Amino acid sequence: MKLLCVDGEPVYQEIISLCAQKEGMEVVTASSYEEAIQCYEVHKPDLVTLEVVIQGGSGVQLASALKRMDPGRFVPIIFLTSHISDSVMNSCFKAGADDFIPKPFNEMLFSTRVSTHKRQIHLIQEMYRKNRELTFYQSMIEREHKMAHQVLDHILTRSERSSQHLAITRLSATNFNGDLALAYTQPDGTRVVFVGDFTGHGLSASIGALPVAQAFFDGMDNQIGLSELATQLNKILLNILPDYMFCAAYMIQIQPSGEIEYWGGGMPRGYIRRGDDSVDYICSHHMPLGILSVKEFEADCEKAFLGAKDTLVVASDGIVELKNSDHQMLGEKAMEALVMSSYIEQDLNQAQSAMEAHLTRFQGKSEQLDDITLVAIRNT
């Protein structure tokens, strides 16, 4: 480490140099304002000692100048001076001084203060180093998230977006949503929807999103049934996901006639809000995808019906587990009430917006802890 000693008296330059050298420091000396500026620029010292009165200027002004020259680096300044009035000390500290030692000074005290500042410098430098590392890792994470977004968005271009008969809302707990919502309409008008909720949230939770999306659209191109699709997706996720991960999911097929066939595993119940203000449910009776072996997996589907004035609403568990500012979860009872009050709107997207507004009001300023996916479907 380097110390810059700025003092017009050679005897103090020598004393300060000897003390600093005993602390293992390299010493550079300057006798005037201009010389101090030049030495600071050339040698980039780690610690500076200043006299208040120096040739060609004021030590107080010099302290301010040095702080301005290198604002991004921590360089402690110690004033060593015989001018020890309160006003002088106040001016020194206002100018950026980090310490003040009156002359004549005790060499042991000076060495102790220098040693203390050295430790402080090491701590600050270590903090700067770690901050640079964190900044680098943060930029890497942001770049990886951007790449993942681009890859996922590319494969999701085949999925239908919100329309007159389909509304999809995806709310991320972080800057990346690990849930998956896919929709596809077959040539005969049959609509197939996949809603998946992977373990956890964010980028790590989306590890299975790409293969699931690819397999889903391949299955749609080949016009396979829901049972076969569920079997294929389970096999894929069983092979690629870690043991602690799985995918809770609904696969729903709606015929133009309103007949519903669905497979559900590990998801909260869905709601069919009837046009007469009653409600029926679709339930998820199976294990999530990616847990059971091929032999153990249950691919049987269930039936329901969606009338002309009905709305089918399914969501990931991020909604029912959403907490408000009092740490109370929304829960299934409140979720059902919101479905009944929101989807009374004739326009599906307006109804979806009303549902989103209800959720926002409930959440208030509390943190969203899980990704949320909400899908609403009408048949006409």
pLDDT value of position 205: 66
Report the pLDDT averaged over residues 91-119. 90
pLDDT at 152 over 90: no
Report the pLDDT averaged over residues 289-307. 96
Between 29 and 140, whose confidence is greater? 29
Report the pLDDT averaged over residues 143-166. 78
55 touches 32 (CB < 8 A): yes
* Model confidence, pTM: 0.69
pLDDT value of position 105: 85
How far does Cα 104 stand from its chain's mean position? 55
pLDDT value of position 45: 95
pLDDT value of position 150: 78
Query: φ, ψ for residue 14 (rounded to 5)?
Result: -70, -45
Report the pLDDT averaged over residues 199-214. 79
Domains and CATH numbers, the chain: 2-128 (3.40.50.2300), 159-377 (3.60.40.10)
Between 109 and 267, whose confidence is greater? 267
Share of the chain above pLDDT 70, in %: 98
pLDDT at 380 over 90: no
Q: How far apart are the two ends of the chain, measured CA to CA in Å? A: 77
Task: Give per-residue pLDDT as tens, 330-348.
Answer: 999 999 999 999 999 889 9
Q: How many CA atoms lie within 13 A of 237 on its CB side?
A: 33
pLDDT value of position 21: 93
Task: Give per-residue pLDDT as tens, 231-247.
Answer: 999 999 999 988 889 99
Q: What is the mean pLDDT of the chain?
A: 91
Task: Give per-residue pLDDT as tens, 254-293.
Answer: 999 999 999 999 999 999 999 999 999 999 999 999 999 9
Residue 143: exposed, middle, or buried by beta-carbon count in 10 A (0-12, 13-18, 19+)? Answer: exposed
Report the pLDDT averaged over residues 123-140. 91
Give the pLDDT band of residue 202 (cuts 50, 70, 90).
low
Between 196 and 151, whose confidence is greater? 196
Residue 296 CA to residue 36 CA, distance in Å, equals 80
CA-wise closest residue to 192 among 109, 118, 250: 250
The three-state secondary structure class of 377 is strand
pLDDT value of position 294: 93
The three-state secondary structure class of 27 is strand
Report the pLDDT averaged over residues 161-189. 87
Residue 353 CA to residue 261 CA, distance in Å, equals 27
